[in-house]
Amino acid sequence: MSTLAPDTVGLGLRRALLGPLRAAPPGSFDFLEAAPENWIGIGGALGEAFEDLASRHPLACHGLSLSLGGPTPLDETFLLKLRRFLDRYRCPLYSEHLSACSDMQGQLYDLLPLPFTPASVRHVAQRIRHAQDVLGRRIAIENISYYATLPAPGAMPEADFVNAVLEQADCDLLLDVNNIVVNATNHGYDAQAFLEAMPGERIACIHVAGHHDEAHDLKIDTHGAPVGDPVWALLERAYALFGPRPTLLERDFDLPPLEELLAEVDGIRGRVSRAALARHAA
């Protein structure tokens, strides 16, 4: 299994982009990221297009349905299918969300926050360790965006919760900079302080995306707009603190022409280069 170099920049592999991505000039992006649930078992023309892209570009995987914080046992059958998929495509990174997306009745098709409590830390950390054992690899866990908290006795700040899970599970972090900006606005905390509390040695990848400004104190994490200035600024701060890391541009909705996405990729690359130069000069 290979790894992604710190200065690499990737794009999300979406079905609507299959044609443009296959036709993109070499070097337009460094890696692709796909949700394995959307591609396991897919054949026909879509499967052929996926195989072509996966044969030419490193493929990271970002899961949607493992429900690491959920109440029901992990889906062992799915984990084994996932391991075969990750091994087949030599995926350099597998990540999932620090959330629940299921209840006792089944999948909820949404990412729900967890209570920030020691009991929740123990629960999700044990499930992450088990998933890592079955998959035979480390998982990177993403800090999610959320719009309501779950008050509970003994609740801790979100940053402390994330750090406790990472420590007890001994897993990596997928740092979503956009989610920090969204949550800091919606829940009234300092985005830079949250960023500075993250363990740089565990950051395996960074996500950036656009969001919708519903009001001055409400942001909606849409992945359907260009990256905004607050997210660019926090990304630059992340590079200054931790150094360049593999960075993915997420765009799921209102997809523009590929050229516009590649311009944002170039914006990330420029920031990576400047951060590397600044750290070398320091």
The pLDDT tens digits of the residues spanning 30-39 come to 999 999 999 9
pLDDT band at 83 (very low <50, low <70, confident <90, very high): very high
Closest to 179 measured CA to CA, from 194, 201, 157: 194
Q: Is 148 exposed, middle or buried (0-12, 13-18, 19+ CB in 10 A)?
A: exposed
Q: Is 224 exposed, middle or buried (0-12, 13-18, 19+ CB in 10 A)?
A: middle
pLDDT of residue 107: 56
pLDDT of residue 104: 45
Structure pTM? Answer: 0.95
Residue 106 has pLDDT above 60, yes or no: no
| pLDDT tens sequence across 208-222 | 999 999 999 989 999
Instruction: Express the helix, strand and coil content of the chain in percent, nearest 5 each.
Output: 45, 20, 35
Q: Where are the domains of the chain?
A: 9-281
Residue 29 has pLDDT above 90, yes or no: yes
Average of pLDDT values for 248-275? Answer: 97
Taking the mean position of all CA atoms in its chain, how far away is CA 66?
A: 14
| pLDDT tens sequence across 92-102 | 999 999 999 85
Give the lowest-confidence range in 47-51, 108-112, 164-168, 231-235: 108-112
CA atoms within 13 A on the CB side of 252: 10
| pLDDT tens sequence across 157-200 | 999 999 999 999 999 999 999 999 999 999 999 999 999 999 99
Q: Is 204 exposed, middle or buried (0-12, 13-18, 19+ CB in 10 A)?
A: buried
Residue 44 has pLDDT above 80, yes or no: yes
Residue 2 has pLDDT above 80, yes or no: no
pLDDT of residue 103: 53
Continuous segment of H or E residues that includes residue 193: helix 191-196
Closest to 158 measured CA to CA, from 140, 179, 132, 129: 179
Q: Does domain 9-281 sit in CATH 3.90.1150.10?
A: no
pLDDT of residue 110: 67
Residue 1 has pLDDT above 70, yes or no: no
Average of pLDDT values for 239-268? Answer: 97
When the pLDDT of each residue in the chain is averaged and rounded to a whole number, the result is 94
Q: Where are the beta strands (DSSP E) in the chain?
A: 9-12, 31-34, 59-62, 94-97, 100-103, 106-112, 140-142, 172-176, 203-208, 212-215, 218-220, 247-249
Q: Give the C-alpha separation, 78 to 91, whole Å.
A: 17
